[in-house]
Structure 1
Amino acid sequence: MVRISEFQIKDVVNVGDGKKLGNISDIDINLQTGKIEAIIISGTGKILGFFGKEEEVIIPWRNILKIGEDVILVRFKEANEFSGQDEDD
């Protein structure tokens, strides 16, 4: 078992590019099933949040590949990564 406090201090890393996405700020729980639906990562924002709103990154539970001692490996694609996938057409 893992406590939420232990879960929140782990770094969340995207396996696609090795980039650190941040740390878990919240989780979505389905109250009907009692299962975690997604993890929410607060965006790092702009310079100390002065120049824009921090955006949240929502990672569906099915995209979590591995929960390790210090890191959580996830599969995540940003919206701008989806464009240009079919360049062979």
Structure 2
Amino acid sequence: MNCRFADLRHKEVISACDGTRLGFVDDVILDTKTACIVSFVIFGRMSFFGLFGKCEDYIIPWEKIQLIGEDTIIISCKTPNPVKRQKKRRFHQKN
């Protein structure tokens, strides 16, 4: 089965172990040398209308993906630990 990234964005990610709904695929991490997907990224939800920032992101390694169906992606692990998003570096900032 072939799938575009635009199609992945509409699939909900669910943990098979505990049935937790993590959200929808927002981004992918690619290995540029092999052109393979390394992991899916699910952005954290806004907390309290965005006034208190966002929750951390979920990064799901490709090895943990059990099934990609028409509407959902099933992962074979418990809910992964959230990861803080790295701040973007601006080109005019100095170290």
TM-score class, shorter-chain normalisation, is: 0.7 to 0.9
Aligned-residue offset at 1:19: 1.0
- Structure 2: runs of 5+ lacking an equivalent: 82-95
- The aligned runs of 1:63-78 (5 Å cut-off) are 63-74=64-75, 75-78=77-80
User: 1:53 is matched with which residue?
Assistant: 54
Alignment correspondent of 2:63? 62
State the TM-score, normalized to the length of structure 2.
0.76
Deviation at 1:73, TM superposition (A): 0.3
Q: Which residue of 1 aligns with 2:45?
A: 44
Q: Report the secondary structure of 1:69's partner residue.
A: coil
What are structure 1's unaligned runs of at least 5 residues? Answer: 80-89
* CA apart distance, 1:5: 0.6
Higher helix proportion (structure 1 or 2): 1
State the Cα deviation string for residues 23-66 of structure 1 (Å, max 9, x = none). Answer: 11100000001000000001123123222333110000000000
- Which letter does structure 2 place at the counterpart of 1:3? R
- The percentage of counterpart residues that share the same residue type is 34
Deviations 1:2-31 (A, max 9, x none): 011111100000111101100111000000
Root-mean-square deviation (Å): 1.3
- Count matched residues: 79
